[in-house]
Amino acid sequence: MSWVSLLPRVRVGLYEITDTQFRKGLVDANETIRTSFAATGFHDFEAQESGPDAKCVFPIWLLASSGLEATKISLYRPQTKGGVFYRFWIYNFVNYLPNARARDVMALVQDGTTCVAINLTLFELTEDRIQGLSALF
């Protein structure tokens, strides 16, 4: 994991995949994700309104076994309980990472413009993957 934080100008947010994420199709944006997004200007959950009309969708990359795949991330605050929850979902996550399981650790690596989702549990560090990620940032 330490090599990810060595990429220039990036911030890293981590989360652990849960069974609920697979079942409901949503992920709680925990403090490390919200803080890293806000620090670079990628997204400010605190300033975001709640409800479906305020959902933000951004292009991101997902590191899959086949390499970097272009996809999207949806960032939103549901109206549930007054909008106190922060959520996201990565489009086509299950298709690109069919071997992902509950308890895998994911990293959202971003510099304010470019964001890459990496399954750190499944990720095999190779020179070509490091070069590919470095080229993005």
| 137 residues of the chain, pLDDT tens digit each | 566 766 778 999 999 999 988 888 889 999 999 999 999 999 999 999 999 999 999 999 999 878 899 999 999 999 887 778 999 999 999 999 999 999 999 999 999 999 999 999 988 777 777 777 888 88
Q: How far apart are CA 101 and CA 124, in angstroms?
A: 16
pLDDT of residue 1: 55
* Pairing of β 56-64 and β 115-119: parallel
Burial class (CB in 10 A: 0-12, 13-18, 19+), 78: middle
CATH of residue 21's domain is: 2.40.330
pLDDT of residue 66: 81
**Tokens coding 6:** 């060595």
pLDDT of residue 69: 94
User: Residue 54 has what DSSP assignment?
Assistant: G
pLDDT of residue 86: 95
- Number of structural domains found in the chain: 1
pLDDT of residue 44: 97
Other C-beta atoms lying within 10 Å of the C-beta of residue 106: 24
pLDDT of residue 109: 94
CB 91 within 8 A of CB 74: yes
pLDDT of residue 13: 95
pLDDT of residue 2: 60
Domain that holds residue 30: 2-136
Q: How far is CA 129 from CA 101, 106, 117, 124, in A?
A: 22, 16, 13, 9
